[in-house]
Amino acid sequence: MSSSVEAITVLSSDGDEFKITVSAAKLSKPLNWMLEDVCFSDDCDEVPTIEVNSKTLVKVIEYCEKHAPRANSGASDSDAEELKKWDIEFMKMDVKDILFHILMAANYLHMEGLYDLACQTAADLMKGMTVSQIRKIFHIKNDFSSEEQEQLRRQHPGCSFD
Amino acid sequence: MAETVFSMLPDDVTLHIFLNLKDDPRHWARLACVCTKFSSLIRNFCWKINCFHTIPSIVSDLLSDSSVPAGGWASLHKLAVCCPGLLHAGVLLDSSDFGLERELGPDEGYQITSSQEIFTSRFNGSSGMGASGSNCYWSLFDDLYNDTVYNASESKDGLESQLCEEAGKGVVKVDQEFSSCKRRKICRSLRSRSHLASGIWNLSREQGNKLLSRQFRDDCLYICDWPGCLHNEEKRNYMLFRGIFKNFKRSRVYRTINDGNRKKIALSCAFCQLCLMFMEYEFGSV
């Protein structure tokens, strides 16, 4: 692994270049592997592509940079508390446009913290919602056949399925 | 964009989201009604995982000869967490709402059929469980015959009249007895409907053994922990126990019930099409 670089450059799937510090990149296993690769040595100018679109990658890098100091050095309770608040604010995003891309990116980049956070956020959005509200929030099409639908109606007379 | 967000997500990610919702069974119940993908994930994985996690010994016992418990994972899971309420448990009260309007939601694909025989185990007096176990006797739906109005003409919705029809199919015709029934006041308390079971969501054979009288001790009955779900009604307090027999048709209880001239009534099972059983512990009149 190269010891001389402090930040690396990666390409998004849209072809945009992004810089990410080495300590932040270490939060992702695949990026960590890349760091150990010759690509990041001084005599190599090949830029690796990450299969995540630019809009999502900006957010992922933002998360990494915020969490990197704590991940690398441990943190006090007050830091953890502050980070939690930051996470909540960070996750206030459009479900369809960003949240699900973050989920997939975190899964693809093996970022446990972000993955758990995104899953928990999606789960929280489902809590206490009716069937039709869940469909609306997550843009889910009702694909039950009319027979299945009828059966559900009989079983759950109080539920709204429309 | 035509594709839905969840169609892009791998199943394991979707499942990971669902597992964040395991603390309240109603979340999964609702999700299973959202779309076919959710429905299949909840039925085939979530409920299964949860059964293995919460009632592992029962699962391994019941699964000795199949890969899916009789009645499916949905039924077993529901048995662990859902009290059907007095009405659906067979302690029938005269009410216009038959207790199927549920917060919990799912029968999940298990159509209620009319061929189930559900029994109440009735103990006299107010002595403790251990003592009462020895002087209990089996009686089928004494309460039905003595206390409950069961008249289709009074039904206010389809479900109730459906069940009345089913009752007519019982082994013993009960029409005349119904007509002489003492009328019970309409009870519409929320607790008479199905609800999340109180107490720990567990079923154990030890509890089942305590409840069975000595002659049935060889039977394998799993029931929820004492004191089940408490239901306070006007005249009595009820404790509803949810439970399941292993190999019910081969159990002594089943044979005893089938022998002789015991009164029977066909009633739909609250959980599945198979023989699941409720027991009623009676405190005596209040």
Domain edges within chain B? 5-79, 84-285
* pLDDT exceeds 90 at position A90: yes
3-state helix/strand/coil string of B248-283: HHHCHHHHHHHCCCCCCCECCCCCCCCCEEEEEEEE
Query: Which residue from A134, A142, A155 is facing B31, i.e. has the nearest CB?
Result: A134
Considering the domain A7-127 in this protein, what is its CATH number? 3.30.710.10
Candidates B22, B33, B37: best to mutate against A (most CBs of A within 10 A) is: B33
Q: What is the mean pLDDT of chain B?
A: 59
The tens digit of pLDDT for each residue in B20-55 reads: 998 888 888 888 888 889 988 988 888 888 888 888
Q: What pLDDT was estimated at residue B19?
A: 93
Q: Which of A113-122, A138-147, B164-173 has the lowest mean pLDDT?
A: B164-173
ipTM score of the complex?
0.86
From residue B242, give the alpha-carbon distance in Å to each of B6, B81, B92.
Answer: 36, 9, 16
| Selected residue with higher pLDDT from B271 and B58 | B58
Identity of the highest mean pLDDT range in A13-17, B53-57, B233-237: A13-17
Work out whether strand B221-224 and strand B203-204 pair parallel, antiparallel, or are unpaired.
antiparallel
Q: What pLDDT was estimated at residue B250?
A: 77
Provide the percentage of residues in chain B whose pLDDT is more than 70.
49
Q: Do B30 and A100 touch (CB under 8 A)?
A: no
Q: How confident is the model at residue B102 (pLDDT cuts 50, 70, 90)?
A: very low
Identity of the highest mean pLDDT range in A32-41, A84-93, B163-172: A84-93
Q: Which of B62-71, B83-92, B154-163, B222-231 has the lowest mean pLDDT?
A: B154-163
Segment B79-100 mean pLDDT: 58
Provide the percentage of residues in chain B whose pLDDT is more than 90.
5
| Selected residue with higher pLDDT from B155 and A125 | A125
Q: What pLDDT was estimated at residue B80?
A: 77
Q: Coil, strand or helix: which one is A19?
A: strand
Q: What is the mean pLDDT of chain A?
A: 83
Beta strands in B26-142 (DSSP E): 82-83, 120-122, 137-139
Q: What pLDDT was estimated at residue A112?
A: 92
The A-side interface with B (CB below 8 A) comprises 95-96, 100, 103-104, 107, 115, 119-120, 122-124, 126-127, 129-131, 134-135, 138-144, 148, 151-152, 155-159, 161
Q: Coil, strand or helix: which one is A126?
A: helix
Query: Which residue from A96, A120, A126 is facing B31, i.e. has the nearest CB?
Result: A126
Q: What pLDDT was estimated at residue A45?
A: 61
- Structure tokens given for A59: 């957010």
The tens digit of pLDDT for each residue in B155-206 reads: 223 222 222 222 222 222 222 223 223 333 333 444 466 677 777 777 777 7
Q: Which of A115-124, B10-19, B219-228 has the lowest mean pLDDT?
A: B219-228
